[in-house]
Structure 1
Amino acid sequence: MSGNTTLPKSRDGNFWEELVTVALLGTDRRPVPGLAAGQDAPVALLDAAAVETVRRRAGLRPAPAAARPEPAAEDARPPLPPAAARRLALLLADRPGTGSGGRRGTAPDLMELLPQWLASANARGYAAPSEALPALLDAARGRTDLRPAVLTFAGPRALWLARLNPDWRFALRAAPGGGTGLPDHRDADRARKLWEEGLFTERVALLAAMRAKEPDAARELLESTWATERAEDRLMFLDTLRTRLGAEDEPFLERSLTDRSRNVRATAAELLSALPGSALAARMAARAGSCVAVDHTRSGPVITVEPPHECDAGMERDGVVVKAPAGRGERSWWLGQLVEAAPLGSWSAWLGGRTPEEIVALPVADDWQGELHAAWCRAAVRQRDAGWSKALLGEPSVPQAAGPGAVSLAERAKLLATLGTDERSAWVAGFIAAHGLSEAFQLLGVCTVPWSPALGRAVVDALNIARDAGSYPWSFSGVMGLAERCLDPSEAARLDALTAVPEEVEGASPGAGGYWSEAFQRLVTTLRLRATMWQELSAP
């Protein structure tokens, strides 16, 4: 402060606000309070502000100290092996934009390996290192697909941190009961208290947790307050019954068919149709059976279809939606819903004792085949019927347009998901061997990781064929990325020969050879890194 400046005294609580106002408006437009004659206004303002700042700090009354947070719960799981902990730090440090996460070059995309690393660490029951928790939560904040695995790996300490940092609150929302801890499913009194007094998210989490362990108790808890619940809440609660759905749920679901909410009625009907022995399934079977028959008067057996002429009150009660979507005929719309909800096991008896393969191979009169087969596809997915799924998929070598049932890759992917792991991989391997990779990406997504040896060979062989043909390489970048994450690491040695730059063939895309070499080098490097990662996690 200047030595010859006379400072104004603080006169009341508004003095600081006056100084701030002068600073905002300027000393030319508003005088400095207490300015003495001959003083330079800007200097006087700054000196006054400095003195007032000291006064405000000196006069501040100390407040009571805030309570210290309770310590985080102990995590009794074993710690990561040191090499695996170092690997985790490297995976978390590789973020988009740091240079190593791009798709060009031979360096592995570490962030894309993080989900597999987390799954493996969780399968082995390791606890996350304390120092890695902030980076894990930041990674899960940016990628919702990581959240379940991250929260499992991070354990109770992640929830403790999330209560202290608003950026990590998603962890509390994702945790059962909002991170508050749910009562044991055997503690009926605490469970009922939480059910009757808890927040909506806590109630959903409680119902889901109970359903996984005591499905009947969960349903009875839901029934106890069903009449007083809001429609949107009833819908969410009803959806939890998909877990361990059984015949014991039928009476409650049957009563829900008369619910005042259309969405609740539709969900109840869908769940009942997934129970082949339910009364609703029998009613739908009778309706569907009256619409589909085999005509033996022609040169060979032909399926004939006579869709319903109306959607009566009984059909509507059982979940049939009356109004068809735009561009869809009403009668075909009703037929599809009836066939979709009918138990697949009943078709053999109605159609002459034929197997699913024989049924889908029959010709269908009057252009009804697409509608009928699409409904059977939806039924096979809903009822998880592997026999019908295999019949509708047909042989993988058959062109898509000539297949017996499924007419789109999306439908085929859903049907494949109902098959066992080995059957699924074998079918997709056969499809790739016959049709290449141009349409296989969606089908590969439903195959178990790591891919079976046969599926891995089919993918690599198809990539090699595309490489030798000089095909446009960027068209296969998605499949190559899948291969990096899904091929068995033991395949790396077999791929070394593909890392060289191939000779350019006539008509090849410019620069294709270099790209293919680069991509295969990245694939080999990634597979070897994955093998190292599993060794690190398996270390004693």
Structure 2
Amino acid sequence: MTSTSLWEELVTSALLGTDRRTPPPEAVTPGKDAPTALLDAAALHTVRRRAGLLPAPAAARPEPAPHDARPQLPAPARRRLAQLLTDRSAPSAGGRRGTAPDLTELLPQWLAAANAHEYQAPPSVLPALLDAARARTDLRPQALTFAGPRGLWLARLNPEWKFALRGASGSATLPDVGDPEAVQRLWDEGLFAERVALLAAVRERDAGTALALLAATWSTERAEDRLMFLDSLRTGLTDADEPFLEQALSDRSRNVRATAAELLSALPHSALAGRMAARAASCVSLDRGEGTTGIGVEAPHECDADMQRDGVMPNPPSGRGERSWWLGQLVEAAPLSTWPGRFGGRTAAEIVALPVADGWGDELHAAWCRAAVRQRDAEWSRALLGAPGTPPETSPGTTSLAERAKLLATLPEGERAGWVAEFIAAHGLSEAFQLLGVCAVPWAEPLGRAVVDALDIARDAGSYPWSFSGVMGLAERCLNPGEASRLEILTTTPPETEGASPGAGGYWSEAFQRLVSTLRLRATMAVELR
């Protein structure tokens, strides 16, 4: 009897019972009762089955990991990285966060700083780093840049890390972009992430060569890859790209067509921009009434084939009217230089301040907001933002915080921080969270001071501190670490005043202690990386 059939007989005896099915004689030890003999035989054959496996053919050994020429991390920074990848802040009793810094929120900042110094990742932390990037998509760009070519090599060996093969920058493995043969070889044979990084690198050196490289294989690329390659043309976009983008307007992928139209509309002298300007100007005009001057709007009555080829989506989302949907797309894609001449030489601020007839104001201003963001036009962004101290509901521009945040991103960093600081001083923190998210880190002194002052006012008013937990979390990550000493006075527990929320003082004290300790830890991390 073979070992396999013998094992099957033992299993059958165990299932049916030794009274109904006697174990095979050759499997049991003579002189023992049947149940004991069965268990002994099962134990023996279990070990035999495990030890008797034939060795499988050896797999091919992987290629050695590529060399990473970047400098190594200083020893203190290596220890800090290991701590950030493994530690978690345990919540205090009652769900309170306590006073310890949240290390998980500091990891993205640490990676950004390490990449700024161009350090290589220690091989020992690569598995934990890739696991962290797999769990948190917000970490991936910085984590994969830090992981470098060795991280990409390791990701090929584990299916759970396959995201890295499409998400890595690949920049550390790029050939010399001045070597045409090496560039062509990687373009023809490289992974998608490597090809995206290669196109971006060549584009930065010679935009025309990058465009020729892409045009040569364009028709054979997958739709999702064509979309990513096309998106890389945003860097260094010039009028020389127009012929290629015009051809992409006829692509079989709707998303590719829409991206090509968006890029063309960002070229104020392109034929598409001219077509959109003419369409938008036919819908929006100066309206001179009796004693008043305003803006008249006549939205399109149809979305014809030419409009659709130029990127206008015919079908509106649920809850939107067709005509307003088409109007918004036309105005968004028209160059903003169209409007001063259309409105008698008025400036952007003067145009935005004009009343809009028949309730079209919100739609028109929202489209101008999108155009200002797309075209990176600071003058129009300022006009649509309005004065920071003006109540949003009475501002001549947009009242949407989401639109204001996007407009702010087009302004220089210092001006952006100053605008948000004035907004907080006038309106407090309740509506400032989105605006703070677009400000450069670390916050400039006026902005940091405005945030801290507003938090201090909220504390003195006896407000619930958890209402400001989002802003406090931003402050931990974005305040200048040099502010820690100045904030020390706020860590004391204030006396409870009449009308204050019960226990709020203790919560505020913990929150400010955590803020101070986080700022000091960020300062230490910066020193360790240097």
TM-score normalised by length of structure 1: 0.88
Contact residue 79 and residue 126 of structure 1 kept, 8 A: yes
Deviates more, 1:413-422 or 1:299-308: 299-308
Q: Deviations over 1:430-452 (max 9, x none)?
A: 11000000011111000011000
Q: What SS is found at the alignment partner of 1:290?
A: helix
Partner amino acid, structure 2, of 1:425:
A
Partners in 1 of 2:148 and 2:225 — Cα distance? 29
Deviates more, 1:274-283 or 1:296-305: 296-305
Partners in 2 of 1:59 and 1:383 — Cα distance? 70
Contact residue 176 and residue 206 of structure 1 kept, 8 A: no
Instruction: Report the alpha carbon displacement of residue 238 of structure 1 after superposing the two structures with TM.
Output: 2.9
Contact residue 166 and residue 191 of structure 2 kept, 8 A: no
Partner residue in 1 for 2:5: 14
Partners in 2 of 1:353 and 1:382 — Cα distance? 23
Q: Deviations over 1:162-189 (max 9, x none)?
A: 3444444433343257x99555544545
Deviates more, 1:208-217 or 1:262-271: 208-217
Contact residue 299 and residue 326 of structure 2 kept, 8 A: yes
Contact residue 203 and residue 209 of structure 2 kept, 8 A: yes
Q: Deviations over 1:472-495 (max 9, x none)?
A: 211001111111111111111211
Instruction: Report the alpha carbon displacement of residue 356 of structure 1 after superposing the two structures with TM.
Output: 0.8
Partner residue in 2 for 1:516: 508
Q: Deviations over 1:324-366 (max 9, x none)?
A: 3333332222221111111001211111111111111112222
Partner residue in 1 for 2:327: 335
Alignment of structure 1 residues 223-242 onto 2, 5 Å: 223-242=215-234
Contact residue 231 and residue 264 of structure 1 kept, 8 A: yes
Deviates more, 1:444-453 or 1:490-499: 490-499
Partners in 1 of 2:55 and 2:120 — Cα distance? 41
TM-score normalised by length of structure 2: 0.90
Partner residue in 2 for 1:72: 65
Partner amino acid, structure 1, of 2:295:
I
Partner residue in 2 for 1:530: 522
Partner residue in 2 for 1:6: none
Instruction: Report the alpha carbon displacement of residue 304 of structure 1 after superposing the two structures with TM.
Output: 1.6
Partners in 2 of 1:420 and 1:136 — Cα distance? 34
Partner residue in 2 for 1:277: 269
Partner residue in 1 for 2:386: 394
Query: In the superposition, relative to structure 1, how do residues 38 and 483 fare at CA in structure 2: closer, same or farther (>3 Å)?
Result: same
Q: What SS is found at the alignment partner of 2:25?
A: coil
Equivalent of residue 411 in structure 2, options 408, 415, 419? 419
Partners in 1 of 2:53 and 2:326 — Cα distance? 76
Query: In the superposition, relative to structure 1, how do residues 396 and 490 fare at CA in structure 2: closer, same or farther (>3 Å)?
Result: same
Contact residue 149 and residue 173 of structure 2 kept, 8 A: no
Instruction: Report the alpha carbon displacement of residue 93 of structure 1 after superposing the two structures with TM.
Output: 3.0
Equivalent of residue 310 in structure 1, options 302, 314, 326? 302
Partner residue in 1 for 2:212: 220
Q: Deviations over 1:99-131 (max 9, x none)?
A: 79x752211112211221221122122233343
Partner amino acid, structure 1, of 2:34:
A
Which sections of structure 1, spanning at least 5 residues, go unmatched? 1-9
Alignment of structure 1 residues 343-362 onto 2, 5 Å: 343-362=335-354
Partners in 1 of 2:441 and 2:260 — Cα distance? 34
CA RMSD of aligned residues (A): 3.0
Q: What SS is found at the alignment partner of 1:293?
A: strand
Contact residue 476 and residue 515 of structure 2 kept, 8 A: yes
Query: In the superposition, relative to structure 1, how do residues 257 and 62 fare at CA in structure 2: closer, same or farther (>3 Å)?
Result: closer
Deviates more, 1:367-376 or 1:23-32: 23-32
Instruction: Report the alpha carbon displacement of residue 501 of structure 1 after superposing the two structures with TM.
Output: 1.4
Partners in 2 of 1:204 and 1:122 — Cα distance? 19
Aligned residues: 527
Alignment of structure 1 residues 31-70 onto 2, 5 Å: 31-34=22-25, 40-50=33-43, 52=45, 68-70=61-63
Q: What SS is found at the alignment partner of 1:338?
A: helix
Partner amino acid, structure 1, of 2:133:
A
Partner residue in 2 for 1:83: 76
Partners in 2 of 1:58 and 1:242 — Cα distance? 61
Equivalent of residue 403 in structure 1, options 367, 370, 395? 395
Which sections of structure 2, spanning at least 5 residues, go unmatched? none
Contact residue 257 and residue 268 of structure 1 kept, 8 A: yes
Contact residue 176 and residue 205 of structure 1 kept, 8 A: yes
Q: Deviations over 1:397-432 (max 9, x none)?
A: 111111222221100011011111101101100110
Partners in 2 of 1:228 and 1:484 — Cα distance? 48
Partner amino acid, structure 1, of 2:365:
H
Partner amino acid, structure 2, of 1:344:
L
Partners in 1 of 2:484 and 2:188 — Cα distance? 57
Contact residue 185 and residue 214 of structure 1 kept, 8 A: no
Q: What SS is found at the alignment partner of 2:522?
A: helix
Partner residue in 2 for 1:141: 134
Partner residue in 1 for 2:122: 129
Query: In the superposition, relative to structure 1, how do residues 262 and 76 fare at CA in structure 2: closer, same or farther (>3 Å)?
Result: closer
Contact residue 348 and residue 355 of structure 1 kept, 8 A: yes
Partner amino acid, structure 1, of 2:78:
A
Q: What SS is found at the alignment partner of 2:337?
A: helix
Contact residue 32 and residue 45 of structure 1 kept, 8 A: yes
